[in-house]
Amino acid sequence: MDRIPQELALDILSRLPIPSLVQSKSVCQDWRTLTHDQLLVNKHFKQMVENDPSFILQIMGYSIQNQLYFGDLSSDRNDGNVTMIAKKLTIPPLLNFHLVSSCNGLLLLRATHPSFELCIYNPFTRDYIELPKLSHHDGVRGFGFDPTTKKYKVVEISYKRTTPFTFSHRVVRFGMRRSHQTETSSSSLIESEVHILTVGSPTWRNLGCFPFRFMWQKSQVLVNRKLHWRTTTNLIMSFDLATEQFKEVPRPDVITSNSDRRFHELVILRGCLSAVSFDGNNQELEIWVMKEYAVKDSWVKQFNIGAYVPKIFQSNYQCHSSSNSRFYLPKNCIQVLCLLRNGGILLQYGNKAIVFYDSRCRTFQDIQVTFEGISSCFTAVAHVASLNSTDTFVDA
């Protein structure tokens, strides 16, 4: 192996999926050293950006909840067929954990452990670090890379009940306009407290309180180096990892605080911030895409996805007509995963089925997911492997 030029070896390794890349460490000492090389990691993620997104799946269930899989997805540009093979990842020695989010290949895991609650795991090197404990448990979390300090940061927003008087005196403005604080603080009895941890630091920093409550989301939305959440008041809020300030992001005109049409979820589609809403009249999911970040007029309704029942639910509920889908699959059971190279949308239904939607033909295809070590019948939470728009990768 020592006869292969390093540049060629880097190119070969950068084209491997994460499980194979980890296994390549056993080939020889030189390749083991290369797996820690910054150039290899950068090249690997550039390859991922050019291809269809990859997935990290956590299998749910009492006996197998500690299993993580890497979903290797491929789509055919000609016939539109999509396949996925899920390869088991080696996991850190934790009792129980849940996958919270990912950034640049690093995984943020929430663990059930007497000494710590959060850890960051690097599946490239199989290394993990424990993060300092924080006393709060109820809230939302985000994980991203700060390009100014070249450090990773974990954000935790926790909630506790308070009185309107106390709330109004402890609000930190975070650069928000005063009108937005008045709109929510007078009616809310929930105080959102924001903590942030720079990975490598021994303690969390308290950034103060925030006059909004965020909705929990399955996968984090990291766009333009900012984390994004939707609020209970139907707003989109961003958190800049560099300035550590919140800011409202303009939303589509069709979605307002007073309308019946609300956000179902926020997602990333080919690097663009996107919002999913539900049209109750037509029983359709609408996907709005912000073509130019933070520009209100750039919101475009790009997809309308009708009702569909995957085969696994048809057999379970003896449902053979898509017209009955609203009874068995409420909108909160459907997750928009990603936009593929061929223009199709990948969806997850009830953590039990992954479906490809062809937007041109308006047809659905159930994706057969093959797992190493378990049957194809699964309950899993799929996380799109999150990439930050930066050329720098820092080992955990």
Rounded (10°) angle between helices 6-14 and 38-50: 40
pLDDT number for residue 325: 45
* Residue 30 near residue 48 (C-beta atoms within 8 A): no
- CA distance linking residue 330 with residue 350, whole number of Å: 9
> Where do the structural domains in the chain lie, given as residue ranges?
52-161+190-319+326-331+369-393
Going by their DSSP bridges, the two strands 263-269 and 272-279 should be labelled as antiparallel
Q: Look at residue 216 in the predicted model and tell me its pLDDT.
A: 84
* pLDDT value at residue 381: 67
136 in Cβ contact with 206 (< 8 Å): no
Mean pLDDT of each 10-residue bin along the chain, 396 residues long = 71 72 71 71 64 75 69 67 78 79 86 74 82 78 91 90 50 46 46 91 92 84 93 92 95 73 84 86 85 95 90 63 48 83 87 88 87 62 56 39
Phi, psi of 26 (to 5 degrees): -85, -5
Q: Which residues pair with 305 in a beta bridge?
A: 285
Looking at residue 331, its pLDDT comes to 64
Composition of the chain by helix, strand, coil, percent to 5: 20, 40, 40
Tell me the whole-structure pTM to 2 decimals. Answer: 0.80
Question: What local confidence, expressed as pLDDT, does residue 168 receive?
Answer: 44
Nearest alpha carbon to residue 337 among 295, 293, 369, 376: 369
C-alpha closest to that of 351 among 385, 325, 378, 314 = 378
Architecture of domain 52-161+190-319+326-331+369-393: 6 Propeller (2.120)
